[in-house]
Structure 1
């Protein structure tokens, strides 16, 4: 099969289009014929070796955890799925080796769900990691109707999903972003404020009594802004700063594969409450350019690779 792989850590130029054997399929896995995969910031961080201390790596590594495709072959005990099923998922395994930037990926059934019928394969591939991250931080924080939720980095890949999911639950959402993204946040259901100097005052102007929940997907001053804005008894959840847990008594979240949570996202998508923003689509052979586009942080929405 054709795949993108790298045999050492480094910049995007270590990525090569290669021929590799079709992966074997374990008893609780299925072989997915990949139609699309998407790039997440963690992909280039893994490629550059930043996760080497916590994740075992077997070279050559095929990158990618997000996938959308069709079940090609089933394992010995996979009653959940059948050949021909259209699926999507966050195919994170316990070590780095066989990822989704390939014609085929062996995926444990616990990482997959049936693809939303209303989405193309490219759109579906943009959902799993970012969508699950947003969903699981919101779940951990216990966001409910009537609360006021502050979302840091609301226009980012995860933040956009979080704004929509929280709004779908009936929460009032205030989102931080650069001014050029404010109109976009309004369309997603958030009240935008600019990050940086004056953030606390801007949020206080909208929510004089403070906020019930802080969801952090990227801010330079989580502790300071949270102490200034969070109501007594409120909750903070972060995917980037362990101080949310260690200093603020909240939650530090690392996203996990979950069929049930993907099904919940599918329901929101099919109900029209969550939309998917694809910024650019690259061919598999151009995966290095896809990594570079994501790493530049100048795109709004997800970068997708078509296989």
Structure 2
């Protein structure tokens, strides 16, 4: 089958179309004929050799988001899915079969759920990994309706979903944005928008003098944002930004590790229902043929992309 992978680590040009054995659904598994795979920052880290891949042999196939159609269901799979159903899934590319940049992926049945109603494959592919990361962030912070959440990197894929999911939970949201992104971030539901930058923590504290109850650091700023959080609050940080915290102020630090939600079909279904209700917006910035994967990676690494770039198979 056709896949996109790298025989060695490096820049975008190491990505190429490769022919790899076609996988088939085993017991309790589902096979997806992939039509779309979102391109995420984690994919560029894997391609560059910055992600541990113990025991994985080349070609290294990135991709954590897949959308397509069920075309095989293994014996004993506990699922209500049927052949031909349109589905989405989060994929872990550090296994021997690689990630979602491929014509077919095989996953445990619990990792796969229906795509949101009326969405294209490209739109559905933007939701699983970033949506699950945002849900996990909110679950870790465990705020109650009426409390205040700050989000950095609010115009990005993770940040945008975090803003919208927080609003769906009844939270007040303070978010950052560049002047060009302010309208977008407000449209996602942010109640207060402050200018982005390394000193955004001070601007959040100025907007909310008592301090926010929780902060989701999608911009990977790190320790400088802690000042925006009230005593006893919480900070949830993605890769490369921790651990840090302020134990003397009772601030709790949470590391957001999205593989903790692999196999959580209940969470994927929650995202699907929210998309069906138009509580979250599926943003596709551009689509590319599989052969154009190097171009998609270069564009993502150049920065400024709003929405997800998607490879189509």
Q: Corresponding residue for 1:202?
A: 203
1:181-202 deviation digits (Å, cap 9, x = unpaired): 1111011111211123653443
Deviation of residue 94 (structure 1)? 5.0
Q: What SS does structure 2 have at the residue aligned with 1:276?
A: coil
Deviation at residue 23 of structure 1 after TM alignment: 1.1
Which residue is equivalent to 1:239?
A: 238
How do 1:77-92 residues align onto structure 2 when only pairs under 5 Å count? 77-80=76-79, 81-92=81-92
Q: 2:173 aligns to what?
A: 173
Task: Using the TM superposition, name which of 162-171 and 232-241 deviates more.
Answer: 232-241
Which TM-score applies when normalising by structure 2? 0.91
Give me the whole-angstrom Cα distance separating, in 1, the residues matched to 2:23 and 2:110.
18
1:208-258 Cα shifts (integer Å, max 9, x gaps) = 2111111111243x32331x2212221111113222469653210110222
Contact 2:9 2:47 in 1 (8 A): yes
Structure 1: which 5+ residue stretches go unaligned? none
Change beyond 3 A, Cα 1:224–1:299: closer
Structure 2 unmatched ranges of 5 or more: none
- Shift in CA distance, 79/301, structure 1 to aligned 2, threshold 3 Å: same
Output aligned runs, 1:1-307, within 5 Å: 1-52=1-52, 55-80=54-79, 81-92=81-92, 95=95, 97-190=97-190, 191-196=192-197, 199-220=200-221, 222-226=222-226, 228-240=227-239, 241-244=241-244, 248-256=251-259, 257=262, 258-307=264-313
User: Matches of 1:40 and 1:56 in 2, distance apart?
Assistant: 23
**Is contact 2:63-2:93 (8 Å) kept?**
no
Q: Would the aligned equivalents of 1:237 and 1:244 in 2 still touch at CA under 8 Å?
A: no
Within 2, Cα distance between the matches of 1:117 and 1:82? 16
Report if the CA contact (8 A) 2:220-2:238 is conserved.
no
Contact 1:4 1:16 in 2 (8 A): yes
Is the Cα contact below 8 Å between 2:232 and 2:252 reproduced in 1? Answer: no
Counterpart-to-counterpart distance in 2, 1:215 and 1:288: 30
* 2:56 match: secondary structure: strand
Task: State the Cα distance separating 1:300 from its structure 2 match.
Answer: 0.7
TM-score normalised per structure 1: 0.93
Alpha-carbon RMSD: 1.8
Secondary structure of 1:182's match?
helix
Is the 8 Å Cα contact of residues 149 and 214 (structure 2) preserved in structure 1? yes
Shift of 1:277: 1.1
